[in-house]
Amino acid sequence: MKAKGSVLLAESLMREGVEVIFGYPGGVVLPFYDYLYDSPLKHILVRHKQGAAHMADGYARASGRVGVCLVTSGPGATNTITGIVTANMDSVPMVIITGQVPRAMIGNDAFQEADIVGMTRVCTKYNFLVKDPSEIPQTIKEAFYIASTGRPGPVLVDIPKDVFLTEAQAHFPERAHIRSYRPSYEGHQGQIKEAAKAFLKARKPVLYTGGGIIISGANEELKKLAEHTHIPVTNTLLGLGGFPSDHPQFLGMLGMHGTWYANYAVAESDLLIAVGARFDDRATGKIDEFARHAKIIHIDIDPSCIQKNIKVDIPVVGDAKYILTRLNEEVRKLASSEHFASLYHAWNQQIGEWRESHPLSYEMDDELIKPQWVIEELSRHAAGDSIITTDVGQHQMWTAQFFKFRNPRTLLTSGGLGTMGYGFPAALGAQVAFPDRSVVAIVGDGSFQMNIQELSTAVQYHLPVKVVIINNLNLGMVRQWQEFFYNKRYSAIDLTVCPDYVKLAEAYGVKGLRASRPSEMMDVLQETLNHDGPVVADFVVSYDENVFPMVGPGRANKEMILGNEKREEIPSIPAGAAMNS
């Protein structure tokens, strides 16, 4: 095929099954946008380039397909970097296409020139600078292959303006062949057998699972393993939905704001089976105290994650679904479900006692709406297949604690990077992927204002996303840390000067609602969920509500603050420990 680079790019994307692109035009990508005018590719015009990256991310997380965004050079490209790092930290398959100044101008400080390849080398899985239009089909084929295989991640393709305009003879490859890139999926059979044998020696095992369960589609294999062995299951934040939250063996999330019984179970375990989790600091707390009595099995497709943060005894490199399928076979050869039930009876009884003595709880108030209550009721009344997105902060943790996620790919949230402003555009991306499903963005009043302009995108493309604002008129998580670790010196957290969200929503052409008292909450929630189009619902909640349990910085997960301690009993922040809100 002989054609201009813009035509070759469009054809390459369509051959990869791309149906929608999230983007924002600019000078150097106009040749491609001109071709889009007659192309079957759907384009979503965002209102900020960061929104394009987050929408592609939400589309990818919800659907499992590669998300695609397209922006111009210079600030267009640099504005996507936060979204790229977000996707990279959370293993999200994305292809980011950026325009670049003409080849002859590269390195000359031309108008809107930025070395986006150099800038993103450390935060992409791979990136390309296309120097000839004939390279486009092969580059796009490789970009999608790299983004979607092994441990998924973002891949950037930078294309100079004159490459879009130049004709070339090009070949469209059927497959990508990259000699230096060969992900391992099957795992070592001997290690899998060794892992199965460890189940029989254990008396206090815990399954600790992360986002890898969801990425690999291994939720059914995990459930089979847990139910056959009667081993309790705890998830990381990104693993929520990988195991049904209403299952009797589910312990809830572990870590900094995990449940008391999940953290104690891990701390007291003698066998920890980690699947698709990377032992990040928010899950482990103080490394030296994390599961220190346990033999650790670590199953992960990324070999660089194994032995990185925690020393493990039985490493297995490979795809979670494949390995859990084999592990299930080996475990069933060794013992019946009844044998495992007997083996772990005392352990499960102990966990049951912990669950009863330290449940997740909060106190209701006659005058103030409690944020936990809003999320509990949303969980009860939202459609069963609803997709929930969050921003970052207290509302994110309350969602992890009180929303019941029963299916994978129903929670989209920024875990590794903790990106405020992520939740709403990610919800729009998810809604594009699933037009007929309910999508709800749970946001804070601080984070929502960071990408609030995407309300225009929701209206223009008829995306009926429901925005639930947990509005406490301050930066809640920062305030909570200042309360506990900085002697209540509340610095730079006041958001009382804020827009009227109802009027602002209406200005964008969106339905706006507000609940300021407990008596109003249920009616507003029901109206929000039942409205046909997009909604912004402002729930004004108690100003000083905190997230509990809470593990302080530098502390072991067993050292939880439960909310009823006196101020003087709360440890001060250790020297050198950083606060990441």
CATH of domain 2-169: 3.40.50.970
Is the CB of residue 13 less than 8 Å from the CB of residue 140?
yes
CATH of domain 189-357: 3.40.50.1220
The angle that helices 5-15 and 136-148 make with each other, rounded to 10 degrees, is 30
In whole angstroms, what is the distance from residue 288 CA to residue 284 CA? 9
Closest CA to 390 of 430, 331, 362: 430
Q: Strands, E, within 134-261: which ranges? A: 154-160, 167-169, 205-209, 233-235, 250-253
pLDDT band at 565 (very low <50, low <70, confident <90, very high): low
Neighbour tally for 104: CB within 10 Å: 10
pLDDT band at 581 (very low <50, low <70, confident <90, very high): very low
State percent of the chain over pLDDT 90: 96
In whole angstroms, what is the distance from residue 369 CA to residue 395 CA? 13
Is the CB of residue 573 less than 8 Å from the CB of residue 553?
yes
Span 17-35, mean pLDDT?
97
pLDDT band at 149 (very low <50, low <70, confident <90, very high): very high
Apex CA 228: angle with CA 222 and CA 232, to 5°? 65
Span 286-315, mean pLDDT?
96
Span 435-454, mean pLDDT?
98
Domain boundaries, given as residue ranges, for the chain: 2-169, 189-357, 371-547
DSSP string of 364-399?
A: --SSSB-HHHHHHHHHHHS-TT-EEEE-SSHHHHHH
What confidence score (pLDDT) does residue 80 get? Answer: 98
Q: Tell me the pLDDT tens digit for each residue of 82-105.
A: 999 999 999 999 999 999 999 999
Q: Tell me the pLDDT tens digit for each residue of 208-261.
A: 999 999 999 999 999 999 999 999 999 999 999 999 999 999 999 999 999 999
Sheet containing strand 250-253, strands side by side: 250-253, 233-235, 205-209, 271-275, 295-300, 314-317
Q: Tell me the pLDDT tens digit for each residue of 502-519.
A: 999 999 999 999 999 999
Judge if 2-169 and 371-547 fold alike in CATH terms.
yes
Is a pLDDT exceeding 90 seen at residue 299?
Answer: yes
Contacts of 450 (CB under 8 A, 6+ apart): 420, 421
Beta-strand pair 535-540/295-300: unpaired
CATH of domain 371-547: 3.40.50.970
The β-bridge partners of 156 are 96, 127
What confidence score (pLDDT) does residue 570 get? Answer: 42
In whole angstroms, what is the distance from residue 439 CA to residue 273 CA? 33
What confidence score (pLDDT) does residue 410 get? Answer: 98
Decide: residue 368, CB within 10 A, 0-12 exposed, 13-18 middle, 19+ buried: middle
Sheet containing strand 42-45, strands side by side: 42-45, 20-24, 67-71, 94-100, 154-160, 126-129
Per-residue 3-state assignment (H helix, E strand, C coil) for 303-346: HHHCCCCCCCCEEEECCHHHHHHHHHHHHHHHCCHHHHHHHCHH
Is a pLDDT exceeding 80 seen at residue 564?
Answer: no
What confidence score (pLDDT) does residue 1 get? Answer: 84
